[in-house]
Amino acid sequence: MGPREGEVRIPSGCAISAIMDKSGKRMSGSDILSSIELMHDRSNGLGGGFAAYGIYPEYADLYAFHIFYEDREARTETEEFLRNYFDTEVAERMPTTKVASIDHEPNIWRYFMSPYIGKLRDSRLSEDQFTMNAVFHINSRINGAFVASSGKNMGAFKGVGYPEDIGRFYRIEDYNAWLWTAHGRFPTNTPGWWGGAHPFTLLDWSIVHNGEISSYDTNRRYVEQYGYECTLQTDTEVITYLFDFLVRQQGMSQKMAAKILAAPEWDQIDHMDPKDREFWTNIRACYSRALVNGPFSIILGSSRGLLALNDRLKLRSLVVGDKDDKVYLASEESAIRLVCPDIEHVRQLGGGEPFVAELYPEVLAQMESKKNIYTRPVSMATAGDFE
């Protein structure tokens, strides 16, 4: 007879970690690698990954696509599609290093691109929407091709393996970023495969998640109404799309979007003052299908900074601390103290209360001022819906 309940240690599944410098100063991937490696026992080798912001300053105005290919045919079809809709400045194989524990890795390429001006104009879409549609076309309609990340001046590095091995495989210590997030995966209901590893990304959004989304089917049907396609075989994917819809398309702040995902319980709303009660009653009614249920802690990365959120009952731990310009987050305090022994203001995040850390306003303004408007050759072909 096997072990009984209570006789086996079952960790709280998955590990997440983040390090951000609010001054925009970039740092190598060595600290985030050490932080996530300390939480090795929270993973089972079926997924690990990192998101990094500020790593491609020389191509800051171009979309950086990291793409997995399972075979030569997938790459041929994808690159033909990209040639029709994007001006590609660089196409190259992703630099990697052989790691003994990682095998059956896909062929990984990266591309720095911008939409053709003519196709973008004819589509009557924003640049981001045009690019999002291209991502979904590749992921859902080209067999054996998966876009790991598609933002500007950022990238996701993920795969099947323990996170420390994935980090060494991608040589993340060679990259410098002002924001790093990391994930060690312990999948319970979904398969461990390269496209299903965290972070999940869309444009410059990235999500690392510890927990389980019991409202996934409701959330998935909700975002699919607005053109999002959940094809990566895991519940976490939908969180990324919810933030993109609420913030980029609905114009909400990240904090407001987070409050919708973890909205107050009805009994809490009943005890609010009349003005707040009316507000939250309307929010719950309008965005009921964006409410995320289940135990979770998440870290959202973007070009502005990071946002962290626990479920309303705080069923997954998430610790935050800071030191000077840096902010640290992790599933365990030890993973922070390892890389910053003199960390200050250490605390647990409250249930359903978003924590936001953004670049300093002057840094954000400086980054915006450096963005150039690229002029590309006008394509004579007719814009389509990528069919």
**3-state SS assignment for residue 28:** strand
Q: Which one of 14, 230, 286, 340 is the catalytic residue?
A: 14
How far apart, in whole angstroms, are the C-alpha atoms of residue 134 and residue 149?
12
Q: Look at residue 194 and tell me if it is in a domain.
A: yes
Q: Dihedral of the CA atoms 119, 108, 208, 227 (nearest 10)? A: 30
pLDDT value for 51: 97
Question: Residue 48: what are its φ and ψ, rounded to 5°?
Answer: -160, 155
Closest to 349 measured CA to CA, from 260, 240, 262: 262
Q: Is residue 385 part of a domain?
A: no
Domain assignment of residue 39, given as a range: 15-369
DSSP track, 276-309 = HHHHHHHHHHHTGGG---SSEEEEEE-SSEEEEE
Residue 12 is predicted with a pLDDT of 52
Active site residue 286: no
pLDDT, mean of each 10-residue run, the chain (387 residues)? 44 83 97 94 87 96 97 97 97 96 94 96 96 96 96 96 95 97 80 84 94 90 93 85 95 94 91 94 93 92 96 88 97 96 94 94 85 41 42
pLDDT of residue 103: 87
- Is residue 30 assigned to a domain? yes
The CATH number given to whatever domain includes residue 336 is: 3.60.20.10
Q: What per-residue confidence (pLDDT) applies to 370? A: 66
Where b means 16+ CB within 10 Å and e means fewer, 56-91 reads beebbebbbbbbbbbeeebbebbbebbeebbbeeee
380 in any annotated domain: no
Which residues, listed in sequence order, are joined to residue 306 by a DSSP beta bridge?
Answer: 301, 357
User: How many domains are contained in the chain?
Assistant: 1
| pLDDT on residue 46 | 82
